[in-house]
Amino acid sequence: MTDRLAQLRDDLERAFLRDFHQVATIGATDRGGVERQAATDADRQTRDWFSAFARARGWAVEVDGIGNLFATLEFVPGAPAILSGSHLDSQPRGGRFDGAYGVLAALHAAAELERRVAEGELTPRYNLVVVDWFNEEGSRFPPSIMGSSVYAGLLDREQILGVRDLAGTTVRDALEAIGYLGTSGGPGELAGYAEVHIEQGRILEREGIALGAVDSSWYTQKIEIDVIGEQSHTGATAMADRRDALVGAARVTLLVRDICNEYPAESLVSSVGQITVEPNSPIVVNSRVHLVADLRANDPAIVRSARDALMARFQQVADEERLEIVARDFDIRPNRYYPQEGVALQQRVADRLGLSIRRMQTMAGHDSVAMNTITPSVMMFVPSVDGVSHCEREFTSDGDLVNGLIALTEVIAELLTGVLDGVAYPGVPSTSTNESRLR
């Protein structure tokens, strides 16, 4: 361990781990996870904790019109801002690390950097804003990555405020109910964004590497599927007369899974993640099933090919089961490429700290993917035990959490001095060496 790393650990470790494990008690489940779906009371409690942390240090706190929560450290009045953070909401019975780690790390990195500025160790060109993005998970209100996508202009705010959960509650009503529907527009001009996150995969753990520098994201395609049959009595209706939507949905689910076998190993992942059954009674043949399918690959052509094949097979199921199947594309996300200068920055920081690092992709979506469309963004990973995520067994060791915190602190310190000024990012004409990769 280098002297610098040892000093940073001593300065940051105790307070960060105390706060991280305290926040993990909010919405805690009996198997070590958390349940804090967007705009629920548990989500409100974590937001209150975030706000109290910031206000206790004199930081300005604001909420924008889609529920994103910001804490601002003003170093240079009127200057653009560096943003850092992630999300505090979770999946149903999800893990306590996903998202929350990135927010807590950003808060503690900001506190450390405020100390450096006050003591003359750092002279920033920009202000620093820590953010908790609303509804990154998308479990209660689809689509995912909601708050950051609205902030980045990728989704329309008014349309998203009207999205309803399965109980019929709108995003607007849910945010108002917990007191977090704001009126501000959030930070104005940006100079960069940084996010640290658990990997949610096995690569770093398997290779014994401390950090991952994310250089790109996979292509993603979601499909909403309605299977429509006819409601009837499970005991009195002859088998030949049944038009069972749930049987059709079961076949559709297997088709979505099995399509991966037709492509090179690990090149395509797919699943049906949500099913809503109507009328869902023990003695009724179901009349309607709504499903959400998810297809992802690094190569967009693979996803498009799989999608087209599935559409034809869905029709075959409909014909054979005497059903109607309606499938609609939504939430299509292209490959995104992070600035190579940001990847190089992470490598320099890791080298200084004596931490191992490797370049890698993200198969999952993150708020940084949306942010990278409007400002140069940095995304870094720390290891996940067994690669498990979105479940209560999700785990990352304290040591790996602190490594990521220390690296994030150093990355933000450089961003505050303008290290990524002028670099290209998706959506902006590029003259950098990665121009051909930008979309």
Beta-carbon contacts of 429 under 8 Å, excluding residues fewer than 6 positions away, are none
At 322-334, the pLDDT tens digits run: 999 999 998 898 9
Mean per-residue pLDDT for 92-121?
A: 97
Cα–Cα dist 317/323, whole Å: 8
Architecture of the structural domain at 219-332 = 2-Layer Sandwich (3.30)
Cα–Cα dist 275/289, whole Å: 7
Outline where DSSP puts E strands in 97-210: 127-132, 190-198
Per-residue model confidence (pLDDT) at position 192: 98
What is 3-218+335-437's CATH number?
3.40.630.10
Mean per-residue pLDDT for 219-241?
A: 96
Mean per-residue pLDDT for 104-114?
A: 97
For residue 429, cis peptide bond before it (omega within 30 degrees of 0): no
- CB under 8 Å, gap of 24 or more: what pairs does 429-438 form? 432/339, 432/340, 432/341, 433/340, 434/337, 434/339, 434/340, 437/216, 437/337, 438/337
- Map residue 218 onto helix, strand or coil: coil
Cα–Cα dist 201/191, whole Å: 30
The residue among 224, 221, 369 whose CA lies nearest residue 299 is: 221
Residue 93 DSSP code: T
Residue 319 DSSP code: H
Cα–Cα dist 89/195, whole Å: 16
Per-residue model confidence (pLDDT) at position 331: 86
- List C-alpha distances in Å: 156 to 151, 319, 342: 9, 37, 29
**Helix or strand holding residue 294 (H, E):** strand 288-297
Residue 394 phi, psi (nearest 5): -50, 135
For residue 143, cis peptide bond before it (omega within 30 degrees of 0): yes
Cα–Cα dist 332/334, whole Å: 7
**Helix or strand holding residue 252 (H, E):** helix 245-258
- Structural contact between residues 91 and 208, judged by C-beta atoms closer than 8 angstroms: no
Per-residue model confidence (pLDDT) at position 9: 72
The residue among 77, 71, 75, 78 whose CA lies nearest residue 57 is: 71
Cross-strand pairs, 357? 211
At 170-192, the pLDDT tens digits run: 999 999 999 999 999 999 999 99
Domain boundaries defined on the chain: 3-218+335-437, 219-332
Predicted model pTM? 0.88
Average confidence score pLDDT of the chain:
93
The model's confidence at residue 438, banded by pLDDT at 50, 70 and 90, is very low
Per-residue model confidence (pLDDT) at position 8: 67
The model's confidence at residue 434, banded by pLDDT at 50, 70 and 90, is very low
